[in-house]
Amino acid sequence: MKLSSTSMVFSWPRLAALLIKEFIQMRRDRITFAMMLGVPLMQLVLFGYAINNDPRGLPAALVALSNDHYTRAMVTALETTDYYRFGHVVESAAEAERLMASGAVSFVVTIPSDFARRVDRGDNPQILIEADATDPAVASGAISTLSTVASEALLREQGRQQVADEEARSRLEVIVHRRYNPELISQFNIVPGLLGVILQLTMVMMTSIALTRETERGTMENLLAMPASPLEIMLGKVLPYLVVGAVQVVVVLAASKLLFSVPFVGSLLLLLSAILVFVLALVLLGYTISTIARTQMQALQLTVFFFLPSILLSGFMFPYRGMPGWAQLLGELLPLTHFLRVIRAVMLKGAGLQSIAPEIVWLVGFVVFFAAIALARFRRTLD
Amino acid sequence: MNAIDVTGLVKRFGEKTVVDQVSMQVGEGEIVGFLGPNGSGKTTTIRIMCGLLTPDEGEGRVLGFDLRTESLKIKREVGYMTQKFSFYEDLTIAENLEFVARLYGLFPVRTHVRRTLDDLGLTTRRNQLAGTLSGGWKQRLALAACIMHHPKLLLLDEPTAGVDPKARRDFWDEIHQLARGGLTVLVSTHYMDEAERCHRISYISYGRMLTTGTVNEVIRNAGLTTFVVAGARLNEVAAALEGRPGVEQVAPFGATLHVVGSDAEALRHSLAEFDGREGITVTPGETSLEDVFIQFMADAKDNMG
């Protein structure tokens, strides 16, 4: 027997056989193929433009019970923050209440009729801002800017520019530097994260049906009767998807530059190496699922089962540090969590290998862990 | 050395014992037919022999390799044709063969594939997707793929189910030609004519091997006596014979009745009163393989309650 085929565990020609077969099948399955390339682009454009964590121009209603210059100044000041857009000016609190209940407005600003009088008398003037806090994210930014904006506007309007300046000078000054993303543009955070999410969804889903598809079509019996080793079968199944992943990465990175102008300050090579490890972990996770699931349906269910916590607990949707300790612990066990830290650090902060090394170690750990489980779970017989 | 030499194979799925103490010896170059009703354990036994299932008990050697510890070596030397078509339907005929050739390390791949295509007359259809082939062509492709690496043992699981008679005959000619070249073949089937084309047959029922031998041996060992009843209004005769002492099978064959029983004396006695009545003749007949198998199946059912 020829030397090349004497190894029981691994031989290049046998791996080549499996790879070629997989690529041909991929090419024949046009819909899936189109999905693998089209879905990432679609999701990127859709979510990249749609998701915004610091919403502005929110609809607001004004209940102005008098129409003096203080009131007008106040409204102008609020509008210039960009958070409020006064589309409704109403006469009564009841009408404003109805607008908020129906969801037509997110804020109701009430300026009482004695506002001007109190200002002039220096008698603790008040305005009421009611926020629809059913979605806390909507309200927080708009509310946080309020008190300073309002008081400064009032002082200026009273002709006490000097006092305003003085007050501003003597007030405790808190200097805030918004590093890496000074304008708080959500896309800078969302778009790199989307790359991770898109890879997680497509890579795991495609590979999770790798073995169950063979079983359901009845080709598994034949494959097992032929001399292919578990390692070769695993590599033959996951490597083609590494190539698909590479195409997705190029598409998403190019789009994030062209469409969203996301800054890229770190090393591209470092990022691509990290992505390679991440994608390898994902395809092996998918393959592990396919050694557990008995049908393609079960495989897809398991994929979703992994996907939901991945987007919710990884820090993609919600701030990671804001989660309770146990949830953070769970998050650590998801490859996406570590990948998000890597890609945000490299793209936005220009982090080097040294600062992302712990995350890379985690990702390599996932690769080894999933590969070990998959090989251990692989059934070489039909028992 | 026997190509197959296994003893006391037992395979259980949960509570159910599917293969029960099966032993089998098949010599090199022999064609052995593997018969038995549906669900009798034929497929399971074949799968054990090619290493796809591990037996719960029993041991043996296939092509000199240990069944339990050397299944990878067995896989390289065995060609296994599954009951259901199990090549890739979304690959063309040539692509499927190339896949197999690379897996078995047959180089140059192109040459091996071309030769196989020529041998089986599939060259003109090489670029057709396997999924679009008819049953007969699928079977040819499957056979081509599993003899490509020149196995020493061919395991065929109901290879001709759903294949027309002409294709079946071609298929068997091919099998005999391969056997003359020294290939050993174990083939499961439901067809009596196919059983008769085998050098030897083994009959399995409810996981137990009931008999093995040449067709004539199996018939002889069954100890059945058969009479052929000819004449008019055989329906009535058949109805009257049913349940008589010694009468175990009454089966119409064209214009005659085959009456079979294991107690020759009782059978003769029961038939005596019909002989000569209303132009009816009773003559001793040849017991066929089918009669024997029907008897086996009836007996097995009795045993199982």
- Domain locations along chain B: 2-219, 225-286
Does residue B82 surpass a pLDDT of 80? yes
Which tokens go with A318? Answer: 């919600």
Boundary (domain end) residue, out of A179, A208, A224: A179
With both helix axes pointing from N to C terminus, report the angle between A230-258 and A12-28 in degrees, rounded to the nearest 10. 50
CA distance A173 to A178: 16
A29 close contact with B: CB closer than 8 A: yes
Residue B192's contacts (CB-CB under 8 Å, 6 or more residues apart) are B288, B289, B290, B293
Does residue B187 surpass a pLDDT of 90? yes
User: Hey, how many other C-beta atoms are within 10 angstroms of the C-beta on A228?
Assistant: 20
- B88 to A16: CB separation less than 8 angstroms, yes or no: no
Q: What angle do CA A189, A194, A199 make, to 5 degrees?
A: 145
- B107 to A25: CB separation less than 8 angstroms, yes or no: no
- B105 to A28: CB separation less than 8 angstroms, yes or no: no
Does residue A113 surpass a pLDDT of 70? yes
Assess if residue A39 is contained within a domain.
no
Assess if residue A209 is contained within a domain.
yes
Which tokens go with B55? Answer: 């037996």
Rounded to the nearest angstrom, the minimum Cα separation between B38 and chain A is 19
Residues of A whose CB is below 8 A from B47: 382
Confidence tier at A161 by pLDDT (50, 70, 90): low
Rounded to the nearest angstrom, the minimum Cα separation between A337 and chain B is 38
Q: Range with the lowest mean pLDDT among A169-183, B162-176, B231-245, B266-280?
A: A169-183
Does residue B153 surpass a pLDDT of 70? yes
- ipTM at complex level: 0.84
CA distance B120 to B93: 12
Boundary (domain end) residue, out of A139, A156, A179: A179
- A225 to B103: CB separation less than 8 angstroms, yes or no: no
Q: For chain B, first and last CA: distance in Å?
A: 40
- B87 to A222: CB separation less than 8 angstroms, yes or no: yes
Parallel, antiparallel, or unpaired for β B256-261 and B225-230? antiparallel
Which tokens go with B165? Answer: 């008679």
Does residue A2 surpass a pLDDT of 50? no
Of B47, B84, B91, the CB nearest to A382: B47
Which tokens go with B16? Answer: 């159910």
Q: What angle do CA A373, A376, A382 make, to 5 degrees?
A: 125
State which residues form the domain around A325: 187-377
Residue B40 confidence (pLDDT): 87
Q: Range with the lowest mean pLDDT among A41-55, A326-340, A365-379, B243-257?
A: A41-55
The answer to whether the beta carbons of residues A110 and A116 sit under 8 Å apart is no
Residue B239 confidence (pLDDT): 85
Q: In what order do the strands lie in the sheet with A58-64?
A: A84-90, A58-64, A107-111, A128-131
CA distance B198 to B250: 27
SS3 track for chain A = CCHHHCCCCCCHHHHHHHHHHHHHHHHHCHHHHHHHHHHHHHHHHHHHHHCCCCCCCEEEEEEECCCCHHHHHHHHHHHHCCCEEEEEEECCHHHHHHHHHHCCCCEEEEECCCHHHHHHHCCCCCCEEEECCCCHHHHHHHHHCHHHHHHHHHHHHCCCHHHHHHHHHHCCCCCCCCCCCCCCCHHHHHHHHHHHHHHHHHHHHHHHCHHHHHHHHCHHHHHHHCCCCHHHHHHHHHHHHHHHHHHHHHHHHHHHHHCCCCCCCCCHHHHHHHHHHHHHHHHHHHHHHHHHCCCHHHHHHHHHHHHHHHHHHCCCCCCHHHCCHHHHHHHHCCHHHHHHHHHHHHHHHCCCHHHHHHHHHHHHHHHHHHHHHHHHHCCCCCC
- Residue in chain A nearest B129 by alpha carbon: A28
Assess if residue A336 is contained within a domain.
yes
Interface A:B, Cβ pairs < 8 A: 85
Where residue A134 sits, what CATH number does that domain have?
3.40.1710.10
As for how many domains chain A has, the answer is 2
Assess if residue A29 is contained within a domain.
no
The answer to whether the beta carbons of residues A53 and A189 sit under 8 Å apart is yes
Mean pLDDT score, A365-372: 95
Of B47, B95, B105, the CB nearest to A13: B105
Kindly report the backbone phi and psi dihedral angles of residue B279, in degrees, each rounded to the nearest multiple of 5, phi listed first. 70, 20
Mean pLDDT score, A340-347: 90
Residue A6 confidence (pLDDT): 53
Which tokens go with A16? Answer: 């080549």
Judgement on whether residues A278 and A314 belong to the same structural domain of the protein: yes
- B51 to A381: CB separation less than 8 angstroms, yes or no: yes
Residue A56 confidence (pLDDT): 74
Of the residues A10, A21, A216, the best mutation for testing chain B's interface (the one with the most B CB atoms within 10 Å of its CB) is A21
A338 close contact with B: CB closer than 8 A: no
- B85 to A218: CB separation less than 8 angstroms, yes or no: yes
- Chain B residues contacting A via beta carbons under 8 Å: 47, 50-54, 71-72, 75-76, 78, 80, 82, 84-91, 95, 98-105, 107
A161 close contact with B: CB closer than 8 A: no
Residue A364 confidence (pLDDT): 96
Residues of A whose CB is below 8 A from B90: 24-25, 28-29
Of B50, B91, B98, the CB nearest to A25: B91
Residue B102 confidence (pLDDT): 93
Residue A358 confidence (pLDDT): 93
Rounded to the nearest angstrom, the minimum Cα separation between B72 and chain A is 7
Judgement on whether residues A204 and A103 belong to the same structural domain of the protein: no
Kindly report each contact of residues B260-267 with a partner whose C-beta sits within 8 Å and lies 24 or more positions away, as own/partner: B260/B224, B260/B225, B260/B226, B260/B287, B260/B291, B260/B294, B260/B295, B261/B224, B261/B225, B262/B222, B262/B223, B262/B224, B262/B225, B262/B295, B263/B225, B264/B225, B267/B225, B267/B227
Give the residue from B46, B181, B176, B171 showing the smallest Cα distance to B121.
B171
Residue B245 confidence (pLDDT): 85
Mean pLDDT score, A272-296: 93
Judgement on whether residues A200 and A256 belong to the same structural domain of the protein: yes
For tokens 């996951």, the residue is: A238
The answer to whether the beta carbons of residues A294 and A212 sit under 8 Å apart is yes
Rounded to the nearest angstrom, the minimum Cα separation between B192 and chain A is 27
In chain A, positions 207-226, which contact chain B (CB-CB < 8 Å)?
217-222, 224-226
Does residue A4 surpass a pLDDT of 60? no
Residues of B whose CB is below 8 A from A8: 72
Assess if residue A269 is contained within a domain.
yes
Judgement on whether residues A138 and A238 belong to the same structural domain of the protein: no
- A226 to B104: CB separation less than 8 angstroms, yes or no: yes
Instruction: Look up the CATH number of domain B2-219.
Output: 3.40.50.300
Judgement on whether residues A105 and A243 belong to the same structural domain of the protein: no
Give the residue from B161, B184, B172, B17 showing the smallest Cα distance to B85.
B161
Residue A63 confidence (pLDDT): 86
Assess if residue A20 is contained within a domain.
no
Of the residues A1, A31, A226, the best mutation for testing chain B's interface (the one with the most B CB atoms within 10 Å of its CB) is A226
Mean pLDDT score, B53-66: 92
Burial category of B280 from C-beta neighbours within 10 Å (exposed 0-12, middle 13-18, buried 19 and up): middle
Of B87, B101, B103, the CB nearest to A227: B103
Of the residues B43, B81, B86, the best mutation for testing chain A's interface (the one with the most A CB atoms within 10 Å of its CB) is B86
Judgement on whether residues A274 and A357 belong to the same structural domain of the protein: yes
Give the residue from A347, A340, A295 showing the smallest Cα distance to A317.
A340
Assess if residue A53 is contained within a domain.
no
Judgement on whether residues A284 and A149 belong to the same structural domain of the protein: no
Which tokens go with A42? Answer: 């679609």
Assess if residue A6 is contained within a domain.
no
- A11 to B105: CB separation less than 8 angstroms, yes or no: yes
Mean pLDDT score, B243-247: 84
Domain B225-286 class in CATH: alpha beta
Of B52, B76, B91, the CB nearest to A24: B91
Ramachandran region of residue B62, left (φ > 0), alpha (ψ -120 to 50) or beta?
beta
Boundary (domain end) residue, out of A179, A214, A240: A179
Mean pLDDT of chain B: 88
Of A2, A29, A222, the CB nearest to B105: A2
Mean pLDDT of chain A: 83
- A225 to B102: CB separation less than 8 angstroms, yes or no: no
pLDDT digits (tens, 9 = 90+) for A224-263: 999 888 899 999 999 999 988 998 898 888 888 888 888 8
Parallel, antiparallel, or unpaired for β B16-27 and B2-13? antiparallel
Mean pLDDT score, A260-275: 89
A8 close contact with B: CB closer than 8 A: yes
- With a pLDDT cut of 90, the percent of chain A lying above it is 26
Rounded to the nearest angstrom, the minimum Cα separation between A277 and chain B is 28
Judgement on whether residues A78 and A167 belong to the same structural domain of the protein: yes
Cis peptide before B108 (omega within 30 of 0): yes
Judgement on whether residues A263 and A366 belong to the same structural domain of the protein: yes
Residue A17 confidence (pLDDT): 92
Judgement on whether residues A256 and A371 belong to the same structural domain of the protein: yes
Rounded to the nearest angstrom, the minimum Cα separation between B13 and chain A is 9
Judgement on whether residues A215 and A151 belong to the same structural domain of the protein: no
Judgement on whether residues A163 and A211 belong to the same structural domain of the protein: no
Residue B278 confidence (pLDDT): 75
The answer to whether the beta carbons of residues B75 and B64 sit under 8 Å apart is no
Q: Range with the lowest mean pLDDT among A131-140, A263-272, B167-176?
A: A131-140
Does residue B303 surpass a pLDDT of 70? no
For chain A, what's the residue count?
383
